[in-house]
Amino acid sequence: MVCSVISLGLRGVEGYPVTAECALSGGLPSFDVVGLPDAAVKEARERVRSAIKSSGFDFPVSRITVNLAPADRRKAGTVYDLPILVGILAAGSQLSLKTERDSAFIGELSLDGRLRPVSGVLPMALAAKRAGIARLFVPADNAPEATLADGLEVIPVHNVRELAGHLTGEQLIPPAPVWEQEPSPVQGPDFSEVKGQEHAKRALEVAAAGGHHVLMSGSPGSGKSMMAKRLPSILPDMTRAEALACTEIYSVMGLTSKEHPMVRRRPFRAPHHTISAAGMTGGGSNPKPGEISLAHNGVLFLDELPEFHSDVLEVLRQPLEDGRTQISRVSGSVTYPSRFMLVCAMNPCKCGWYGHPSGRCTCTEQSVRRYLSRLSGPMLDRIDICVDVPSLEYDELSGSVPPSESSAVIRARVNAARAVQLARFGPDGPACNAQMGPRELRDYCGLDQTCRQLIRGAYDRLGLTARGYDRILRVARTIADLDGAADIAANHLAEALQYRPPEHLRA
Ligand SMILES: Nc1ncnc2c1ncn2[C@@H]1O[C@H](COP(=O)(O)OP(=O)(O)OP(=O)(O)O)[C@@H](O)[C@H]1O
Ligand SMILES: [Mg+2]
């Protein structure tokens, strides 16, 4: 007798339906799993055998063959424990699946028949919904996350006995309530603690509002790392679609939990400069997302930028352009979303004091150039906003200046500017000004006579490239949005032009 049970698999952060076909036939007792299973899937046999026995059922004394279709895709992980168990019990007529034709099953089994949570539940639940599956049986701890895929009935299962009771109709398990998102408090340090540096704070506000890439350059101890750490407190709120996209990635990495099934604040990732290229983009024989994907819809902060290996910076170029990263393996290629806001901090030279009024810099011109040459031109060309962070004057530090604005006040302006962008581009357009393509630039970044003259003068003087020109328009658009202006005016454009890389970085 053959019985088919629907389940789900993962390829990258995309789910897809899998059918577990279980056949019981005569012959010497055996138990085989085919359909490109990895080691964890093969080990399902031992867990299933033990779970069946400890839940009070008989393990069939026959030749058992399980085929995971489509058989040409590699199956990994422990999610197939539950569908295999259900298939074997149904094929041996110990359970009936008559009422569950449009149901799917995922979950890891423990030897005593309890269900353990698995990773990647949200992408699998979304795939189930797309495939028209009505009901999803998941380990109880995964249920809150599965309910995020609106419109799918989620049945939380604690153990095999409970599931059997439900399938026979003895004791139905009530569907899990849809997980309700509460307003998420913004945690972490506040911008009010940063004294002075008004120019840099303004640049970070513009960057947060439009999703622009930023580079902060300045002498040691001027507050670059301090301000970057406070960036999460002014990032705009995420839309539900953005939050779900982040949650899918975190789910695949096993970083979601029963208490926190959804990523609700924009991610802030700050990998150390010793990170490898694979750690940055993702990889491994069974590919996993890297830092740039964990930073999707959030911030990737690279402190001490020139210390990163040059190959690590090179691999960022393509994702910065496309918003996704592709990893090729013999078994096929997977694509991960990785659209992030890049924030970098660096000293202007090796000793850190280049250009400081005290004249402390001990570097030769040559060593300054060598230090900066680690940043490739094309990489710098992708940065929208460059800002100098000078050492503080004593008066600024000693507190004789008015206190700084709090993050909440800045975030309110950022949120307002982001709302303008959302309304302008609609749900299918770019998420923010930094992502505007040629069409949006044409439609929303028209310049009047004064602005055209201003940018024409700057074009030759600053040696702009076509990419640099577009970038200035995008930043100017964000500054106009922060100002509540319908059109870009000369003062917006002039501020955007200030954020060009300084002379010594362009050389
Ligand atoms: N603008 C500032 N307002 C208040 N405190 C500051 C400011 N700048 C620096 N500090 C103090 O100095 C410490 C060091 O600053 P931070 O680590 O941000 O420097 P940095 O610019 O990143 O230096 P480096 O180039 O060496 O990494 C901060 O933790 C903070 O205590
Ligand atoms: Mg620092």
pLDDT given for residue 460 in this prediction: 81
Q: Which ligand is nearest to the CA of 193?
A: 1
pLDDT band at 396; cut points 50, 70, 90: low
Provide the residue count of the chain. 507
What tokens were used for 291?
A: 């830092």
CA 229 to ligand 1: nearest atom: 18
User: Which pLDDT does position 332 carry in this prediction?
Assistant: 75
Phi and psi of 363, rounded to 5°?
-80, 145
CA distances, 390 to each of 214, 369, 393, 396 (Å): 16, 20, 9, 12
For a ligand 1 pocket test, name from 195, 222, 393 the mutation site with the most ligand atoms within 8 angstroms of its C-beta: 222
b/e burial code for range 273-310 (CB count within 10 A of at least 16 → b): eeeebebbbbbeeebbbbbbbbbbbbbbbbbebbebee
Ligand 1 atom, smallest distance to 352 CA: 25
| Per-residue pLDDT, 501 | 78
Ligand 1 pocket mutation, candidates 190, 226, 305, 346, criterion most atoms within 8 A of CB:
226
In this structure, how many other beta carbons lie within 10 angstroms of the beta carbon of residue 406? Answer: 15
Residue 505: pLDDT over 90: no
pLDDT above 90 (res 403):
no
Residue 48 is predicted with a pLDDT of: 95
Which ligand 1 atom is the nearest neighbour of the CA of 196? Answer: 1
**pLDDT for the residue numbered 159:** 96
Closest ligand relative to 220 C-alpha: 1
262-298: pLDDT as tens digits:
998 999 999 999 999 999 998 877 788 999 999 999 9
Strand partners, 302: 344
pLDDT in tens, 19-29: 999 999 988 99
Q: For every residue of 321-367, which 3-state class applies, written as one string?
A: HHCEEEEEECCEEEEEECCCEEEEEECCCCCCCCCCCCCCCCCCHHH
466-493 pLDDT, tens digit each: 888 899 999 999 999 999 999 999 999 9
Residue 401 has pLDDT above 80, yes or no: no
What local confidence, expressed as pLDDT, does residue 352 receive?
Answer: 76
Q: Which amino acid is at 28?
A: L
273 C-alpha to ligand 2 centroid (Å): 12
Alpha-carbon distance 44 to 339, whole Å?
Answer: 36
377 Cβ contact list (under 8 Å, min separation 6): none
Examine the pLDDT at 176 and tell me if it is beyond 70.
yes
**pLDDT band for position 400 (cuts 50, 70, 90):** low
pLDDT in tens, 364-386: 888 878 887 777 666 777 889 99
Is residue 295 classed as helix, strand or coil in its secondary structure? Answer: coil
Where in the chain are the domains? 2-167, 191-429
Give the C-alpha separation, 124 to 66, whole Å.
21
Minimum-distance ligand 1 atom for the alpha carbon of 303: 27
Residues with CB under 5 Å of ion ligand 2 are: 225
What crossing angle do the helices spanning 490-498 and 466-482 adopt, rounded to 10°? 120
Residue 412 C-beta-side C-alpha neighbours within 13 Å? 4
Two structure tokens written together for 466:
């076509």
Which fold does the domain 191-429 belong to in CATH? Answer: Rossmann fold (3.40.50)
How far apart are the CA of 344 and the centre of ligand 1, in A?
15
Q: Is the predicted pLDDT of residue 504 greater than 90, yes or no?
A: no
pLDDT at 364: 81
CB-neighbour burial class of residue 239 (10 A; exposed 0-12, middle 13-18, buried 19+): middle
Instruction: Give start and end residues of each alpha helix (H) in 74-187.
Output: 81-91, 121-130, 143-146, 160-167
What residue owns the CA closest to ligand 1's atom 5?
A: 194
Tell whether the model's pLDDT for residue 86 goes beyond 90.
yes
The pLDDT of residue 376 is: 67
Q: Identify the weakest region by mean pLDDT among 110-114, 127-131, 144-148, 188-192.
A: 188-192
pLDDT classification of 179: cutoffs 50, 70, 90:
confident
Over the stretch 126-160, which tens digit does the pLDDT of each residue have? 999 999 999 999 999 999 999 999 889 999 999 99
Please name which of 91, 97, 69, 99 lies closest in space to residue 8, comparing C-alpha atoms: 69
Ligand 1 pocket list (CB less than 6 A): 194-197, 218, 220-226, 345, 347, 352, 392
Q: What is the pLDDT of residue 196?
A: 84
The pLDDT assigned to 1 comes to 82
Q: Which atom of ligand 1 is nearest to the CA of 228?
A: 18
Q: In CATH, what number does 2-167 get?
A: 3.30.230.10
For residue 253, the cross-strand partners are none
Does residue 437 have a pLDDT over 60?
yes
Longest distance between any two alpha carbons in the chain, whole Å:
89
Q: With 70 as the cut, is the pLDDT of residue 197 above it?
A: yes
Three-state DSSP class for residue 304: coil
Distance CA 413, CA 60 (A): 66
Report pLDDT for 377: 67
SS3 per-residue string spanning 388-429: ECCCCCHHHHCCCCCCCCCHHHHHHHHHHHHHHHHHHHCCCC
- Whether 56 shows a pLDDT value over 90: the answer reads yes
**Which atom from ligand 1 is nearest to the alpha carbon of 224?**
21
Residue 135, SS3? strand
What's the gap in Å between 226 CA and the centre of ligand 2?
Answer: 7
Residues 88, 54 contacting (CB under 8 angstroms): no
Q: Are 272 and 301 in contact (CB under 8 A)?
A: no
Q: How far is the CA of 297 from the centre of ligand 2 (A)?
A: 24
Overall average pLDDT of the 424-447 stretch: 92
Residue-level pLDDT at 22: 94
What are the tokens at 417?
């500017």
- Name the phi and psi angles at 440, rounded to 5: -65, -40
**One-letter identity of residue 433:** N
**Mean of the per-residue pLDDT values for the chain?**
89
| Structural tokens at position 421 | 């962008």
Q: Give the full edge-to-edge strand order of the sheet including 214-217.
A: 268-269, 299-302, 341-346, 214-217, 385-388
* pLDDT the model gives residue 484: 92
How much is the pLDDT for 33? 93
Chain center to CA of 70: 28
Q: pLDDT band at residue 348, thresholds of 50, 70 and 90? A: confident
Report how far residue 285's alpha carbon sits from residue 383's, in angstroms, rounded to the nearest whole number.
Answer: 32
As a whole number of angstroms, the distance between CA 156 and CA 163 comes to 9
pLDDT over 70 percentage in the chain: 96
Q: How far is the CA of 345 from the centre of ligand 2 (A)?
A: 7
CA of 220 from ligand 2 middle (Å) equals 7
Instruction: Output the pLDDT for position 219.
Output: 87
Confidence of residue 465 (pLDDT cuts 50, 70, 90): confident
